[in-house]
Amino acid sequence: MGNADLRQLAALEDVPLSSLGGSVVAVDAHNWLYRYLTTTVRFTRSRAYTTSDGEEVANLVGVVQGLPKFFEHDLTPVFVFDGGVTDLKEAEVDERREQRERYEELLAEARESGDAAEISTLESRTQRLTPLIQETTRDLLRHLDVPVVEAPAEGEAQAAYMARQGAVDYVGSEDYDTLLLGAPYTLRQLTSSGDPELMDFEATLAEHDLTWEQLVDVGILCGTDFNEGVPGIGPKTAVKLVREHGDLWGVLDARDAYVEHADLIRELFLDPTVTDDYDFETSLSPDVEAARAYVCEEWEVPNEEVERGFDRIEASAAQTGLDDWV
């Protein structure tokens, strides 16, 4: 069960970064940061990202390493941060917090017994976006003049909404949920090297002859962040069944199955809490010196960790100059 089941249904295509020049990408900040926090930190010494006060600010390194990719290809990122959580999500957050506490207990035990493998697995699972991480990320983005949007609820939903409104050209996220949220075009693998993968919403619907609602129903049958899938139903049979019975209810009746909160989950994807209260400029004037000072002096990150990234940002900023005709 899982969202990755949607991969089998999604209309995907590799696109060269060079073809994306001039476009605007709404990046799901949580998703993007999480990726850096679980890779950047793990393969290096976390000491390098810890201040003398013991605060972990690996996110700053992640931001500095991740942004050049956008700037060098004339892509404008808009970072969308999560707001409050939905009731349904809240239950999940609680569960995750409890689970995290269990992991942290295990982690403490592993450290005592010196089990290195166990320690690293558990560390990856206890990564989380602390308030400090969110705040310092916002501060750094402000120095670099990167637009930030505050979502009322889920950042992904807000990003997808802005894409549907035409305020941005793409949503940037690794998750397949954006498909269920109706994001017209999602760019995946913006964090890794190499060309991104483009996920096309309309093409996906057309390929399987489904409506948006039906695609959401397929997702629910396979399982989403909010529900376990129905046993025995994967992406293939879900599509077949939804087409056969029309919608989720038809399928559930026919299989005598039940999904908790199915109607609410549907709404979360089809009509999520979003806002029109966003506003951003797409021509950026980063203050790289201020950003360097913020990261290296204020947060004591060793210069060599971010020097290369800042140099790249500076170089691409100088090249593009100020596109004040936009």
Partner DNA sequence: CACAGAAA
Partner DNA sequence: TTTCTGTGG
Cα–Cα distances in angstroms (integers) from residue 37 to residues 32, 61, 86, 115, in the given order = 9, 9, 25, 22
Q: Tokens 């109706």 — which residue?
A: 182
Judged by CB under 7 A, how many residues of this single chain contact DNA? 22
Binding mask 139-178 for DNA (x = CB under 7 A): -----------------------------------xxx--
In whole angstroms, the minimum distance from the beta carbon of 99 to DNA comes to: 13
Q: Is 28 annotated as a binding residue?
A: yes
**Binding status of residue 93 toward DNA by CB under 7 A:** no
**Binding status of residue 1 toward DNA by CB under 7 A:** yes
**Binding status of residue 254 toward DNA by CB under 7 A:** no
* Contacting range for DNA; rule: CB under 7 A; set: 150-158, 235-243, 273-281, 294-302: 235-243
Residue whose CB is less far from DNA, 44 or 285 = 44
- The only residue of 77, 147, 219, 229 in contact with DNA, by rule CB under 7 A: 229
Q: Give residue 267's Cα distance to chain centre.
A: 20
- The only residue of 50, 124, 127, 282 in contact with DNA, by rule CB under 7 A: 124
In whole angstroms, the minimum distance from the beta carbon of 248 to DNA comes to: 15
In whole angstroms, the minimum distance from the beta carbon of 133 to DNA comes to: 19
CA distance 27 to 187: 9
CA distance 171 to 23: 11
- The only residue of 23, 50, 121, 126 in contact with DNA, by rule CB under 7 A: 121
**Binding status of residue 235 toward DNA by CB under 7 A:** yes
Residue 284: strand pairing partners: none
In whole angstroms, the minimum distance from the beta carbon of 319 to DNA comes to: 32
- Which residue type, as a one-letter code, is found at position 243? R
CA distance 37 to 247: 39
Q: Tokens 């109607």 — which residue?
A: 263
- The only residue of 107, 187, 218, 233 in contact with DNA, by rule CB under 7 A: 233
Q: Is 177 annotated as a binding residue?
A: yes
**Binding status of residue 275 toward DNA by CB under 7 A:** no
Q: Tokens 């295990």 — which residue?
A: 106
Q: Is 304 annotated as a binding residue?
A: no
CA distance 180 to 186: 11
CA distance 107 to 105: 5
Could you give the residue ranges of the DSSP H alpha helices within the chain? 29-39, 58-72, 87-113, 116-126, 131-143, 155-164, 177-180, 201-208, 212-222, 235-245, 248-255, 262-270, 288-292, 303-320
**Binding status of residue 261 toward DNA by CB under 7 A:** no
In whole angstroms, the minimum distance from the beta carbon of 275 to DNA comes to: 24
> How would you label 215-234 residue by residue, b for 16+ Cβ within 10 Å and e otherwise?
bbbbbbbbbbbbbebbeebe
Residue 200: strand pairing partners: 11, 185
Residue whose CB is less far from DNA, 124 or 134 = 124
- The only residue of 21, 131, 166, 231 in contact with DNA, by rule CB under 7 A: 231
Residues placed in the known binding site for Mg(2+):
28, 82, 154, 156, 175, 177, 225
In the annotated binding site, the residues are 28, 82, 154, 156, 175, 177, 225
| Site residues for DNA per CB under 7 A | 1-4, 7, 39, 121, 124-125, 174-176, 188, 229, 231-238
